[in-house]
Amino acid sequence: MTPTRYWLGALIILATGALTGCGTWMHGEHQSVTLFTTPADTNVVVDDVVHLLAPGTITLSRKADHRATFAKDGYDPATYTIKRTWSWWVVGDVFACAIIFSPLCIMHDIDEGGYYTFDDKIYFTLDRKTPESVPAK
């Protein structure tokens, strides 16, 4: 093997190794998501822990889906699940795993959350409370 081929082979191996777990490395374990509501100034509680007034931005762990509860006087309270979806960085993992035949690169991103992403902006509309029927006397 010539020295040029040796270095080219080493470079290819290093490049594929660099792609393993690239979702977590490139965009991290957390993501900022901005919540917009109609009407504005709605109270939002995410995962029964974080309280904010919408519109507002929250940083979420990519490791799981999250639950947001919206409430405002004069409107019916509502719950919304903030679902995660596959990140495009998974393509890098699949490419690297196809070359080095190791499921560890995908498993790293799944465990750390880099395999997933959320919508950057979420829009939610609350319904007005309906007047309760008053019994006739």
**What is the average per-residue pLDDT within 47-58?**
92
Amino acid making up residue 5:
R
Report strand pairing: 30-38 vs 121-125: parallel
What span, in angstroms and rounded, lies between the C-alpha atoms of 19 and 104?
11
Query: Is residue 13 predicted with pLDDT exceeding 80?
Result: no
**What is the average per-residue pLDDT within 86-115?**
65
Task: Give the residue, 79 or 88, on which the prediction is more confident.
Answer: 79
The DSSP 8-state label assigned to residue 107 in this structure reads H
What span, in angstroms and rounded, lies between the C-alpha atoms of 78 and 69?
6
pLDDT (0 to 100) of residue 86: 80
Spell out the SS3 assignment of 4-73. Answer: HHHHHHHHHHHHHHHHCCHHHHHHCCEEEEEEEEECCCEEEEECCCEEEEECEEEEEECCCCEEEEEECC
* Token code pair at residue 64: 């799981």
